[in-house]
Chain A
Amino acid sequence: MAEIMIAMKQLTKAYKSMGDEVQALRGVSLDIEKGESVAVMGQSGSGKSTLLSILGGLNPPTSGSVEVDGIDVYALSQEMRADFRREYLGFVFQQFQLIPYLTALENVMLPLTTIRKSNKEKREIAGSVLCRVGLAGKMNRLPNQLSGGEQERVAIARAIVNEPPVVLADEPTGSLDTKTGDEIMALFQRLNQDGLTVLMVTHNPDNTRYMSRTIIMKDGQLCTDKAELLQLVSAGKR
């Protein structure tokens, strides 16, 4: 039996918006196996990003639990959760979210900032990861000197530099053209094949081709309507 990397049980999330209570998640339960790549799809406001942020230890659920590699994430203190994120999770945010005043190499070195390694070692590690994502010659460029695809690669390199077992990606191809988006998805696929567990929120059905499983969210719940799922997946395969 495959090892469970992520276990979400009966997750709910409610928050206030303009005085009204909004139910972003309504009892989501989901297991993701080690080495799996899962695409999360759904319309805007369906709860995809909320799910991602809860899974990432950034947003405590109203009820329910999240375990990553057997660790109950929200049983940890805030500062312990920061350590957990550094060691277990890699984030690829929407629109890259690189630090504009740091070079590509320095951006990739960021997650290594607070760990005990010499600067030289950190540079070597970050350099080798940048080579792995195909940016060997552009390490010393600032984000605004890189193309969108290159910035996305830097963001991916930053997410994996700490060798976390899980990468969470939020719309990683949302601001890229189709060709570059495909290249980035191929990169994710390669990383997944190397053993990384990937959970990706995406609007693009094409991206599901690169993932081992697709789940759909609707109104804060996992969609169980097989027809809807099939329709989305087949749209991706066209």
Chain B
Amino acid sequence: MNILQIAANNLKRRRMKMLFLTLGLVVGVATVVALVSIVQAMRLELGDRIDEFGANAVIVPRSEGVELRFGGTVVSDVTFDVQELTMADLPKIRESVVAEYINIVSPKLIGAVKADGKNALIVGVEPRQKFTQKPWFSLREQAGVPTGGKVGDLALLDVPGESVILGSSAARYLGKKAGDTLVINGRTFSVFGILNELGAEEDGLIYADLVAVQGLLGRPGQLSMIEVSAWCNFCPIEEVVAGLAAALPNGRVVALRQAAMFRYQTIDQFSAFGFALSGVVLFIAALVVLTTMLSSVNERTREIGIFRAIGFRRVHVMEIIFLEAGIVSALGGLAGYVLGSAVAQVAGPFLAQIQGHIPMRSDLILPAILLSAVLAILASAYPAIKAAQLDPAEALRFI
């Protein structure tokens, strides 16, 4: 007979009460495990999604510039020693030290053209890269699709080389609709589609195949800028910028901090929500442990009196209570981990609108058991002290 056996035997005797106590811990731990798993999955997925939404770094040709100011007004910029970005720079990005973090590389060439005799701005893009990077671009009209018919997804469509896509303002300005033809700098293009209005300067642009635009502008192989989307879950954007700058000495790499900040802010909000909710559930679980252990101590007043009378020290009585809490918490922690992981796997994708699979987090087993143990032991401290301080004479009703 030892103190552990006394604790274990008492738990066996009070099965229902201990089951209730264990359930309290299971719910608390399961909530935390589920939330941590879901929030972590959301962090990854949200991060990836935001990284897909637009570039988080832009590379432009390096140049030295002087801004001329007069009376607080910029009169003009003088640039000199302008270097060039070319198609040959693209592989350098994929070979840079940060290559593993690079998701989408979207080169662009921008220039002025005559379209049906009118001045217009044209942007040469690699359509798939461009529209995957900016999924908010969508077609309002598509050649060959009747009005009201279902247009295709720009990121998935094959845009022929001898065709253009018009921004909504550009289409209005040029008086074109999908399927029309447009003569640009003497070359005839068909209008593949018209974009939905974005409310931005992109509405006034003509989009065409990069190589075709390089030909139109007489700048074969040249680029105006390269937009880069990096996976920033595993490396900060600053590291990506430094890596790209080292790979492209002829380019100036600018981080789009706003996108990065937004990304972290959103994830932090999700995490804060998760932790706050976990805190509330854990507090309730602690109350369940506290009240159950207190009532257990009250029910066992005489029993504790007997222990004290036959020579148990106060510390032995506390040991019994803490061991009971410890056994229950270990079981509760383990069961809570299993339940929490299951909830995350089954309900997580619906609750958090996550498309991917939420992985089982084996690294959470030990923290789950520890969390449960700390919770149970903290919540049992008062009942244990109360039990140890019981007056044995009073407990045995000697007085």
Contacts from A to B (Cβ < 8 Å):
15, 24, 49-50, 52-53, 56, 58-59, 78-79, 82-83, 85-87, 91, 93, 97, 99-102, 106, 109-114, 119, 122, 126, 158, 162, 170
A114 and B311 in contact, given A58-B392, A100-B13 (Cβ under 8 angstroms): yes
Query: B residues 232-249 with Cβ under 8 Å of A?
Result: none
Check if B99 is an interface residue, CB within 8 A of chain A.
no
CA distance A47 to B132 in the complex (A): 93
In contact, B398 and A101 (Cβ under 8 angstroms): no
Report chain A residues within 8 Å CB of B346.
none
CA distance A225 to B310 in the complex (A): 35
CA distance A110 to B303 in the complex (A): 12
Check if B308 is an interface residue, CB within 8 A of chain A.
yes
**Main secondary structure on chain A at its contact with chain B?**
helix
Centre residue among A82, A87, A111, A122 by max chain B CB count within 10 A: A82
In contact, A82 and B311 (Cβ under 8 angstroms): yes
CB B304 to nearest CB in A, in angstroms, measures: 11
Partner among B3, B6, B302, B308 whose Cβ is within 8 Å of the Cβ of A102: B6
Contacts from B to A (Cβ < 8 Å):
1-3, 5-6, 9-10, 12-13, 302-303, 306-316, 392-393, 396, 398-399
In contact, A53 and B393 (Cβ under 8 angstroms): yes
Report chain A residues within 8 Å CB of B309.
56, 58, 85, 91, 93
**Main secondary structure on chain B at its contact with chain A?**
helix
Report chain A residues within 8 Å CB of B12.
101
Report chain A residues within 8 Å CB of B310.
85-86, 91, 110-111, 158
In contact, B2 and A79 (Cβ under 8 angstroms): no
Q: Quick one: closest A residue to B2, CB to CB?
A: A113
CB B377 to nearest CB in A, in angstroms, measures: 21
Report chain B residues within 8 Å CB of A91.
309-310
Centre residue among A58, A79, A106, A126 by max chain B CB count within 10 A: A58
17 A-B pairs with C-beta separation under 8 A? A15-B399, A52-B398, A53-B393, A58-B392, A58-B398, A82-B308, A85-B310, A86-B310, A87-B311, A93-B396, A97-B302, A101-B10, A101-B12, A106-B5, A113-B6, A113-B316, A114-B313
CB B21 to nearest CB in A, in angstroms, measures: 17
CB B16 to nearest CB in A, in angstroms, measures: 14
In contact, B306 and A78 (Cβ under 8 angstroms): no
CB B139 to nearest CB in A, in angstroms, measures: 75
Partner among A58, A86, A87, A106 whose Cβ is within 8 Å of the Cβ of B1: A106
In contact, A113 and B312 (Cβ under 8 angstroms): yes
CA distance A130 to B311 in the complex (A): 20
CA distance A50 to B392 in the complex (A): 13
CA distance A53 to B392 in the complex (A): 9
In contact, A59 and B311 (Cβ under 8 angstroms): no
In contact, B398 and A49 (Cβ under 8 angstroms): yes
A-B interface, 7 closest residue pairs, ranked by CB to CB distance from nearest: A86-B311, A53-B398, A101-B13, A109-B1, A59-B393, A58-B393, A53-B393
